[in-house]
């Protein structure tokens, strides 16, 4: 019994180290996790290409939430926000929200019986958030696993 507990602890430690190595790999580009075509599949809205200005990762664990502050190549157009307004008007379960028609957010999660967005794997148990502000190039992308 004692050997099994030690083996399990060692396995957990190895998995945490591997996760940590992947996350801190200098070749790892967090923007590769969510290219704009993947964001469009999930949110139903096409955002401009972007670069990551700040990346905050959660400690290595099975459940995690990472945050990317991003700067879009161009200010998201009025058409982007019109499309979001249309999605919200057509379906209150679109995932899009706004309180003031200036700050917009998209939130979704999937797995454990909740259907995944188109192109995502339900077995991944994922979360995704996108925050946009009219007239600004800056945005926030939050993603993770639960």
- pLDDT for residue 134: 97
Query: What is the structure's pLDDT at 21?
Result: 42
For the stretch 35-55, pLDDT in tens is 999 999 999 999 999 999 999
The reported pLDDT for the residue numbered 1 is: 53
Q: For the chain, which residues score pLDDT lower than 70?
A: 1-28, 62
- From the list 117, 114, 98, 116, the residue with the least C-alpha distance to 106 is 98
Domain boundaries, the chain: 28-145
pLDDT at 23: 47
pTM of the model: 0.77
Q: What is the mean pLDDT of the chain?
A: 85
CA distance 137 to 101: 16
Contacts of 66 (CB under 8 A, 6+ apart): 30, 55, 56, 57, 58, 142, 143, 144
């Amino acid at each position: 019994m004692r050997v099994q507990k030690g083996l399990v602890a060692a396995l957990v430690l190895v998995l945490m180290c591997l996760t940590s190595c992947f996350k801190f790999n200098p070749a790892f580009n967090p923007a590769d996790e969510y290219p704009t075509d993947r964001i469009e599949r999930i949110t139903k809205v096409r955002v401009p290409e972007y670069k990551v200005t700040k990346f905050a990762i959660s400690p290595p664990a099975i459940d995690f939430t990472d945050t990317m502050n991003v700067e879009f190549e161009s200010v998201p157009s009025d058409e982007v926000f019109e499309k979001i307004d249309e999605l919200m008007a057509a379906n209150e379960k679109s995932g899009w929200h706004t309180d003031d028609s200036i700050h917009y957010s998209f939130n979704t999660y999937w797995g454990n019986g909740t259907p995944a967005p188109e192109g995502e794997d339900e077995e991944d148990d994922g979360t995704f958030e996108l925050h946009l502000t009219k007239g600004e190039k800056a945005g926030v992308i939050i993603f993770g696993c639960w």
